[in-house]
Every structure is written in structure tokens, then in C-alpha cells.
Amino acid sequence: MNPIYIDKNEILKCYKPIDKHTHKGIQGHALLIGGSYGKIGAACLSSKAALKTGCGLVTAFIPKCGYEILQISIPEVMVLTDVQEKFISNITFDIVPQAIGIGPGVGQEQATQITFHEFLKTTKVPLVIDADALNILSQNKSWLSLLKPKTIITPHPKELERLIGKWDSEAEKFEKTIAFSKKYQLIIVMKGAPTHIIDGDAVYENTTGNAALATAGSGDVLTGMITSLLAQSYEPINAAILGVYLHGLTADIALPETGYQSFIASDIIDNIGRAYLSITA
Ligand SMILES: NC(=O)C1=CN([C@@H]2O[C@H](COP(=O)(O)OP(=O)(O)OC[C@H]3O[C@@H](n4cnc5c(N)ncnc54)[C@H](OP(=O)(O)O)[C@@H]3O)[C@@H](O)[C@H]2O)[C@@H](O)CC1
Ligand SMILES: Nc1ncnc2c1ncn2[C@@H]1O[C@H](COP(=O)(O)OP(=O)(O)O)[C@@H](O)[C@H]1O
Ligand SMILES: [Mg+2]
């Protein structure tokens, strides 16, 4: 396996500067579906990260109990609520997003599983699938065939194992992940240290990031960032590459100030601007 390293050179091939005549209506609308009682923070983090990564509009779809939490913590994000108080049971919306991220904090209630199945059957919008949405897929593997080609999935090692089964070596992990990517035509963001992106036989290895990212919610933030880039019309593979690179870069930039221990997922969001600036510096 000869990975393509995701470094500044590689990023400059796909990075799209902002057009000075753009406006929020054409800068992309991202929909983030997530959260459940006790995990509304995951929806807050992913939707705020989406806005801070540059899309024009962000809507969060959450259970009712998260309404005030989300509106107060991030007033720039619009909110749609499910009929249920504590978990998502019926995904419906009247907006037209260019990308949807689903899964952070969503839980695995039976009703959430059923509405996720319906959602997969009907949606045509480019998707990022993470966290509990991946765990639901692991329990219902026949639903994987509903995923459109180039859907992005973002498993951490345990979520990957639930999807593809155990491996005995790093080589076998890559073999199985590449086979899975080919079988379902998926872009797989294999989160870790470092993170790899698998797109069929193409393997990319990220060069940014450090152990400060080993903190609750850092994956939820990544989901928002990649969904935002998809909504801004990046090709799925480029949204994954740029998202993973910027996400890691925030931790490299923040480290001298925060150290490893005190860095939290909100620090990723706070440093997205500096990460963007360093691409063009
Ligand atoms: N503020 C909020 O609202 C937050 C909400 N969140 C939401 O919570 C939900 C559950 O997500 P989750 O990832 O915590 O649980 P789960 O899938 O059981 O995985 C945990 C196990 O996986 C493993 N593992 C993980 N990383 C690994 C690594 N790099 N390398 C190796 N192993 C690794 C490790 O397993 P072990 O090694 O212990 O066997 C670990 O115990 C989900 O919806 C998420 O979005 C969270 O984002 C937190 C903030
Ligand atoms: N030691 C590390 N070095 C670099 N990146 C890391 C390290 N530990 C975790 N990360 C990154 O942090 C993120 C963790 O995602 P995830 O486990 O889904 O977190 P959460 O579910 O809490 O949001 C991934 O992007 C992963 O690559
Ligand atoms: Mg996660």
C-alpha cells in the first residue's frame, strides 16, 4: 500500500477560495441530524463546526429536548425538531440541503433505527454517516446497499470493527476496509492516529493532527466539517481530504497554547479559521 499523503501540496490541488460575489444562498446549506437526551452536545458541536467551515446555512434536526440548548448555544444555526422529546423518531424536513451529516449522538432507539432506514431509502442528498448511525448500519448490514455511491462514512476503530469485523494485523485491516469500500462504493474515513481515507484502491494518509484530538466530541466536529465542505460543492473525496486535514491542523495550531490535556472539541471549532488561513499563507 502506497498512500497519498494529505499535506499542504495535496490540499492546494482541491482547495477552492471564496468568490467575493458569493452569498449565503449559494454557499451551501448543510443539514446535521443528531443528538438525543444527554447527547445534544454532539449536535451542537457538529452543526457549529459546519458553519465555521464555511457553508452559508446550517440546520440541525434534533429531538425536542435539545431545542433551547441548541438555539441558545449557537444562534446562527436553524433548528428543526422531531416529534419525540428525547430521541429522533421521524426525520422529515422541508428544506433543500446540499449535504446531510447524520449520526452524532443520535442513539440507537428502535424508532431512530426505523426512521433512519426510511431516510436511507428516500434521500438523494450527498451524505456523511457517523457514530450511532454507523452502529445502526452494523446491526442492519442489508441497509448498506441503500447507500449512494461516494457516500462518506467516518468510523473510529470500534465502529469500523462493528462494520467489517475483527482484523489480525494492520495489513488485514486495510485489505478488509478497501474491499468494503469497493463493495458498497463508499469513501471511508478511517479515523485514528493518523487518519486514513479509503476510496476503493486509493489510500490517503493525513499528515496533520496530534493526541490532543483524543477528546470527547472531536469526531462529531469532523462530521460537521466534512458535511459543510460537501454542501459547498466539494467532490466527496475532496470534502473528506480537506475536512480531515483542517481538523488535524486545528490541533497542531492550538497545541502550543492548550497543551495536549486541556484541548477540547470546541478548540477545534475555534481554530478552523486559523487552519484555513494557514493553507493560503
Ligand atoms: N458531548 C456529546 O454529546 C458526545 C456524544 N458522543 C456520542 O456518543 C455516542 C457514542 O460514541 P462513542 O464513540 O463514545 O462510543 P462507542 O461507539 O462505543 O466507542 C467507544 C469505544 O470505541 C473504542 N475506540 C474509540 N476510539 C478509538 C480509537 N481511536 N482507537 C481504539 N479504539 C477506539 C474504544 O473501545 P475499547 O478500546 O474500550 O474497546 C471505546 O471504548 C456517539 O453517538 C457519539 O457521537 C461522543 O462523541 C462524545 C461526546
Ligand atoms: N492520538 C490521536 N492522534 C491524532 N488524532 C486523534 C487521536 N485520537 C483521536 N484522534 C482523532 O479524533 C477524532 C475522534 O473521533 P471519535 O472517536 O468519533 O470522537 P467522538 O465520537 O468523541 O466525537 C478522530 O478524528 C481521530 O482521528
Ligand atoms: Mg464519534
The predicted-structure confidence for 50-76, as pLDDT tens digits, reads as follows 999 999 999 999 999 999 999 999 999
Amino acid at 192: G
Residues in the chain: 281
Percentage of the chain exceeding pLDDT 70: 100
Mean pLDDT of 31-40: 98
**Nearest bound ligand to CA 189?**
2
ipTM: 0.97
Pocket flag, ligand 2, residue 219 (CB < 6 Å)? yes
Atom of ligand 1 nearest to the CA of 40: 3
Per-residue pLDDT band for 109 (boundaries 50, 70, 90) equals: very high
Q: Which ligand is nearest to the CA of 195?
A: 2
Confidence (pLDDT) at 252? 98
Q: Which atom of ligand 1 is nearest to the CA of 214?
A: 29
pLDDT in tens, 221-265: 999 999 999 999 999 999 999 999 999 999 999 999 999 999 999
Assign 1 a pLDDT band (cuts: 50, 70, 90).
confident
Q: Hey, whose CA ends up nearest to atom 20 of ligand 1?
A: 158
Q: For residue 68, what pLDDT is reported?
A: 98
Question: Comparing C-alpha atoms, which of 143, 60, 70, 69 is closest to residue 102?
Answer: 60
**pLDDT surpassing 90 at residue 219:** yes
Structure pTM?
Answer: 0.98
Q: Which atom of ligand 1 is nearest to the CA of 44?
A: 3
Q: How far is the CA of 156 from the centre of ligand 3 (A)?
A: 6
From the list 70, 69, 105, the residue with the least C-alpha distance to 220 is 105
- Over residues 38-59, the mean pLDDT reads 98
Mean pLDDT of 121-133: 98
Q: Mutate which of 191, 223, 247, 268 to test ligand 2's pocket (most atoms within 8 Å of Cβ)?
A: 191
Segments of 144-247 assigned E as strands: 152-153, 187-190, 196-199, 202-206
**Contact at 8 Å (CB) between 212 and 263?**
yes
Order of all β-strands in the sheet with 127-129: 4-6, 202-206, 196-199, 187-190, 152-153, 127-129, 99-102, 29-33, 57-62, 78-81
Quote the mean pLDDT of the chain: 98
- Tell me the β-bridge partners of 78: 59
What residues are neighbours of ligand 3 (ion), with CB under 5 Å? Answer: 131, 219
Give the pocket of ligand 1 (CB within 6 Å): 39, 41-42, 104-106, 131-132, 156-159, 192, 216-217, 219-220
Which of 24-28, 91-95, 97-101, 112-116 is the least confident region?
A: 24-28
pLDDT digits (tens, 9 = 90+) for 155-213: 999 999 999 999 999 999 999 999 999 999 999 999 999 999 999 999 999 999 999 99
At residue 57, the pLDDT reads: 98
Map grid coordinates 443528538 to a residue. 35
Q: Give the pLDDT band (50/70/90) at residue 281.
A: confident
| Residue with CA nearest ligand 2 atom 6 | 213
Establish whether 103 is an annotated binding residue: no
